[in-house]
Each structure stands twice: as C-alpha cells, then as structure tokens.
Amino acid sequence: MQRVRQLFLAGLLATTVFGVLTLAPRSAVAGGRIVVSDVEFGSFASEKEMNAALKKQGKTTFKGAGSWTLNMMIFLGGGAGGNKINVVYYDVSKRPPDQVNFTEVGVKPDQKIVQLNGQAISSDMGFVKGHKYEVRATRVVGGKEKVYAKTTITLK
C-alpha cells in the first residue's frame, strides 16, 4: 500500500510539474500585456525563445534627450476583433491622466500578438522627460475605449 501511495504521489507531482512547465508560458502570453524595449524585437523560433527575449529586453524606464524609440510586443487579452487597434499614450504624471498621442496599427481580427518596432516619440509630440506614461492597446467599440493590454513606462 505504501508503494502504491508513493507511485501515486510521484505521478501527481510529475503531472503538476508538466502542467506548470507547459501551460505557464502560454498563460503569461495570453493575458493582456505590453512588453516595451529600447532594442528591436526579432523573430522567434519557439515560445521559449520568445519568453527569454521578452524577459531580457523588457524595460520600464527609457533614457533620451527629448526623443525616444520604443519597440513593443503587445499581447492582446483576446483577438483584436477588428482590422486595427490603437496604441495610446496617457501621461499619468498629470491628474487626471492626459492622452498625449496615439498610433493606429493594422491587425487581423483574430490576431493576439502584435510586434511593433521603431515607435518614435518626442517632446515635440507632447512627451515630457521625467513623466510616466500608461501605454494602452485599445479599440473604440460602441463609442467606448476597450483596453486589450497596457503597461506603464517612464521617460528619463
């Protein structure tokens, strides 16, 4: 009986570890989030390679002298549902937060991952060094902003 119990527990442990290892990366990617980098994102041979690059490249603070170049991997919390999304920047250093700028991006309705390299922003566009910005991937649905993913960055 002891041996059966040990085998059962070993099998349960193996199943749990397998589930964590195979499902964790997908659930991390499936949630609505945006990873921002100062280095362009390339193509990835596997989900494991992509997750390693995201972890290595992802940043929240960006240095610049009045201009910054952002590269984004956007993981929508579900399919886009239309043929475009907006990447919207809100200055959250102000109360209430103020929309500074946006970029319209073409997508497929069922697309869940959007890679957006080389997004140039600058003080000429209304961005302020030292301020924090919430970056949102949105669509206007029924006259209201539907947020699919977001993150916060600081410009230094």
Please give the average per-residue pLDDT across 103-109, as a whole number. Answer: 96
pLDDT digits (tens, 9 = 90+) for 26-75: 333 346 999 999 999 999 999 999 999 999 999 999 999 999 999 999 99
Q: Name the helix (H) or strand (E) containing 141.
A: strand 132-141
pLDDT of residue 1: 52
Give the DSSP letter string of 19-54. Answer: HHHHHHHHHHHHSSEEEEESS-----SSHHHHHHHH
| Domain 31-155, CATH | 2.60.40
What is the pLDDT of the chain when averaged over all its residues? 84
Structure tokens belonging to residue 7: 């085998």
Instruction: Label residue 112 by pLDDT band (50, 70, 90).
Output: very high
- What torsion do the CA atoms of 47, 50, 54, 56 make, to the nearest 10 degrees? 120
Domain ranges for the chain: 1-30, 31-155
Instruction: Label residue 77 by pLDDT band (50, 70, 90).
Output: confident
